[in-house]
Amino acid sequence: MKKRFMSIAALCIICLIAASCASQAPAANPAPASTENTQSAPAPAPAGETIRVVTYFAGSDAWAPVWKEVIQEYMTANPGIIILDESQPTAGVNDMLKTKVQADLAANSPSDLMLYYTGDAYAETLTAQDSYLDFTEALSQDPEWAAGFKQTPLQSVQYQGKQYTLPYIGFYEGLFYNKGLFDKLGLAEPTSWENIINSLDALNENGITPLASSLAAPYFLVENFIMAQVGESNHRNYFDDSWAGALDAIAELHSKGAFPKDAMTLSEDDVRLLFSEGKAAMMINGSWCVDSLQSNPDMRIISMPTTPGGKGGSNSAISGFGSGWYMTKAAASRSGETLKLLKYLTSPEIMARFIAIGGSSAIYCEAPDSSSNLLKSAAVMLNTATYIDKTLDSQVGHEAYEAMNGGVQYIVEGMKTSKEVIEEARSLN
């Protein structure tokens, strides 16, 4: 649109100059036009703007290639805009992103747009200089854009009631399962507690471990069973008595032979190997496992189905967002171009391209048709959930969290009740 306008403007200028020259020329015997004067005047270049952007999409980061593609496409479509990519890697011993951001803040020269860590500690540092925009007004002025964000992630990154950052890509956890194994044995997929229980005997009889999990370190298991048990109602009512039902459900599965025989000593690496090699039908784990599993078209992931008497299930999901977009007030006051770029980056179409690589989306979007079946199922899981929350280990005291997880072995061996373990953890929180 801008380019078309500038072209029309240039044509008008040329016409005005020609008209002016004609009015001043003698009426008779006009001098022949020179070759130089007959050449077309070049159209003025569109007004340019450079937008500085820093992210962690750099180095060996899996999303880096997609990032380079989308910003190049944006500059091609908006020829007056230059995106100065200042992205830095976070992998390895040194977090170059953090180093750069801290140096820019110290020099009072932050990037216009930044994909950086979320959380109160970071927000406190970043807002101390009053450099960053509260997106609340921008979201209210564009309801369609605001509606694209999932509300739970959006609220989870607020600081002191203000929206200084917009969540983007995060992690998720859930129940992975090998659909091919269930189909081969004529079993219903494990989309309900009843289906899971009904599959145990057949899986064991065919030499397949039903649920690969470690009871020595049952963190993923406990996290997801609690969400399946209490859902939104009591997930943040820490160590409530209602959590005991989740631990009882784990004990029931243990009594029915759902776990590996050496579950009391199994490592997390062993758990992943059992599942990836097709020796286990199910596994509770996170999005960091997707890349190594998605080449198998039979892999799926869902929220842990509702446990007996529970309120969670497909309406709930565990997902966290450790990074989000920040924008400076200076960029906002300079023009609307930086916000326009941010809206492009947070559009469902662009978000889908990042999620095709992996991770959890804070924006409602569909997985691309070219995505693996596993990634497509993850997108369905996250889009279906009406309540999404981060893991409990980031919300409760470490000692209390360890006491609850460490108590699982005592529960399954009948040495403690689930209520006793929950009460003990609650006293430590």
Sequence ranges of the domains in the chain: 49-168+321-346, 172-318+389-428
Tokens representing 202? 């057949």
The C-alpha atoms of residue 200 and residue 193 are separated, in whole angstroms, by: 11
Element housing 175 (H / E): strand 169-178
Q: What is the pLDDT along the chain (429 residues), one digit of tens a residue?
A: 433 333 333 333 333 333 333 333 333 333 333 333 333 333 333 468 999 999 999 988 889 999 999 999 999 999 999 999 999 998 655 789 999 999 999 999 999 999 999 988 889 889 888 999 999 999 999 999 999 999 989 998 999 999 999 999 999 999 999 999 999 999 999 999 999 999 999 999 999 999 999 999 999 999 999 999 999 999 999 999 999 999 999 999 999 999 999 999 999 899 999 999 999 999 999 998 998 899 999 999 999 999 999 999 999 999 999 899 999 999 999 999 999 999 999 999 999 999 888 888 999 998 888 889 999 999 899 989 999 998 998 889 999 999 999 999 999 999 999 999 999 999 999
The C-alpha atoms of residue 52 and residue 16 are separated, in whole angstroms, by: 38
Q: Global pTM?
A: 0.75
pLDDT score of 360: 87
pLDDT score of 234: 96
* Topology of the domain covering 172-318+389-428: D-Maltodextrin-Binding Protein; domain 2 (3.40.190)
SS3 148: coil
Chain centroid to CA 187: 33
**49-168+321-346 matches 172-318+389-428 in fold:** yes
| φ, ψ of residue 62 in degrees (nearest 5) | -65, -30
Contact 125, 154 (CB under 8 A): no
Contact 168, 113 (CB under 8 A): no
* Topology of the domain covering 49-168+321-346: D-Maltodextrin-Binding Protein; domain 2 (3.40.190)
The C-alpha atoms of residue 274 and residue 109 are separated, in whole angstroms, by: 50
Residue 338: left (phi > 0), alpha (psi -120 to 50), or beta? alpha
SS3 53: strand
SS3 281: strand
